[in-house]
Amino acid sequence: MVTGGGGHIGEVVVQALCELGASVAVVDLPGALENVGSEAVSGLGRCVAVPCDLGNAKETRACVGEVLSRLGGLDIIVHSAAFVGTTRFPGWAVGLAEQSPEAWDAAMAVNLRSAFLLVQEARSALASGGRGSVVLLSSIYGMVGPDMRLYEGTGMANPLAYGASKAGLEQLARSLATQLAPHVRVNTVSPGGVERGQPESFQKRYCDRVPLGRMATEEDIKGAIAYLASDLSSYVTGHNLVVDGGWTAW
């Protein structure tokens, strides 16, 4: 299962799992699932679409049963759905003084609560084969605070609930790793900033702070997901794999 599979990173996650031979259920809002099952998205494996509003607790729980019904089992969950800096929601991608509690709650529901609900609902299915793996997509901003000087003059924002929810995912993974062991492993991946046509001034400032001298691409995250989802990491749990070009190494 891949949540947020209709987004930029989600599509790459789906490709990574399909290339490993997995059958994948892509869980996302209906409008984001138009290309699910196409060769460009699914690569080598079977891929099915499961519409779900992950901000709705009832729908989130129900989608686990839908996945089990359609695929016959569930060994891997990759949670990549999230409110991000470009998400359009009133009171979200704005300055600190304008960020609203409604936007905070909506982001926490999708970014953090849905991960908890999915794993809670799927725990027996994940454990049944003895090789379950959960990978939660966090961020460097779950580890460090943003340097707001990068955003000056760009119109971009870094909402407080984004970093708070990503930090929550990392602690959720550590707690789940100890409670679901030994049959289910739980880890996080923390990417750095991904290049998506941001203003040139932002990209230059960002790259100047990265030891590898560039922003990430979705492809940079693919290998990390494949590693943690597969038996290549069979003795790894409760770990946060940082894929940031060295951003947090300074």
Q: How far apart are CA 245 and CA 228, in angstroms?
A: 19
Residue 233: other Cβ atoms inside 10 A:
18
Q: DSSP for 126-177?
A: HHHTS-EEEEEE--GGGTS---GGGGTTT-----HHHHHHHHHHHHHHHHHH
Residue 1: other Cβ atoms inside 10 A:
27
Quick one: which H or E segment has residue 178?
A: helix 160-180
Q: How far apart are CA 208 and CA 93, in angstroms?
A: 24
3-class DSSP state of 190:
strand
Which of 78, 189, 86, 172 has the alpha carbon at shortest distance from 138? 189
Residues belonging to the chain: 250
Residue 110 DSSP class = I
Q: How far apart are CA 129 and CA 104, in angstroms?
A: 37
Q: Would you call 162 a catalytic residue per the annotation?
A: yes
Which of 141, 151, 162, 206 is flagged as catalytic?
162
Catalytic residues: 162
